[in-house]
Structure 1
Amino acid sequence: MIHHFGGIIIHPRAEIGSDCVLRHGVTVGERVAGGPVPVIGDGVVFGAYVQVLGSVNVGDRALLGSMSVVLDDVPPGRTAVGIPARVLERRNAAD
């Protein structure tokens, strides 16, 4: 699903799973010309203006906070925020 379409850029070699949500301004691409591109799992939610660049694996059901720049892997079910993005710690085992 693409919310508020506009300015979404997806590299043609990038892999994006099913049931993902992309908001405006999202970029999924390479860091250098001809370099590796991201692999995105199923059910990933992208906040507005998220940039996912390079050899990055984003696990199923991960959440990527608005305006984050994701340069490292994000485990399944986790949340990544910031520039550069960091994976948030879970509050408890039930999270």
Structure 2
Amino acid sequence: MLFKSDILKYKKYSGKPALILIITTQGLWAICVYRISNFIYKSNLPKLIKKPLLLISILFQKWIEIITGISIPYSASIGKSFYIGHFGGIIINAKSVIGDNCNISQGVTIGVSGRGDKRGIPIIKNNVYIGANAVVAGKIEIGNNCVVAANSLVINSIEDNSTVIGVPAKIINKNSSIGYI
């Protein structure tokens, strides 16, 4: 189960028991509601059952969004071992694709941007760390093992094993996300 991989990652970082984390960690609440809602969304349940369950899950998502400041729509695609480092201000577009073992901090926006053929939503690959208040937007791809520094605006694709910083973000080195994830 994907949620189990999320809990294991939180346990690894905090050293706290799973029950304590589930009770006290807002990022984990948001991920839990997302995982359940996404499971319903992807299921092959009959529409007569699926639609009411999705409606209920949307209500829970909105409630979580209000109390945590974390918006993760059920239609986003997020891999295993997802970690939200801090409370609030996190917006993830409904069509976002985020790979396995990614970490995001508070204030991160992953969204739509651009014009014409360049308009779209980012694809974020595996083992990516996105720092506080960063914005990743547009029809771009963030490669494996990348680091997006705090307060950066990423509007261009980033190759694997890169660290980016700035507005707009530029590659500053080829250090990977090892040590951040």
Q: What is the TM-score with the length of structure 2 in the denominator?
A: 0.47
| In 2, Cα distance between equivalents of 1:69 and 1:40 | 14
Describe the superposition over 1:51-73 as per-residue Cα deviations: whole angstroms up to 9, x where unpaired: 00101100011000000000001
Instruction: Provide the residue aligned with 2:130 in structure 1.
Output: 46
- How do 1:14-25 residues align onto structure 2 when only pairs under 5 Å count? 14-25=96-107
Larger Rg: 2
Is 1:77 aligned to 2:132, yes or no? no
Higher RCO structure, 1 or 2 (CA under 8 Å, sep 6+)? 1
Q: Which amino acid aligns with 2:90?
A: I
Unaligned runs of 5+ in 1: none
- Which 4+ residue blocks in structure 1 deviate beyond 3 angstroms? none
Instruction: Provide the residue aligned with 1:29 in structure 2.
Output: 111
* Aligned match for 2:141, one of 53, 57, 60: 57
Bigger proportion of residues as helix: 2
Shift of 1:74: 0.7
Bigger proportion of residues as strand: 1
Q: What is the TM-score with the length of structure 1 in the denominator?
A: 0.89
Q: Which amino acid aligns with 1:46?
A: I
Shift of 1:88: 1.4
Unaligned runs of 5+ in 2: 1-82, 176-181
* Aligned match for 2:91, one of 9, 12, 27: 9
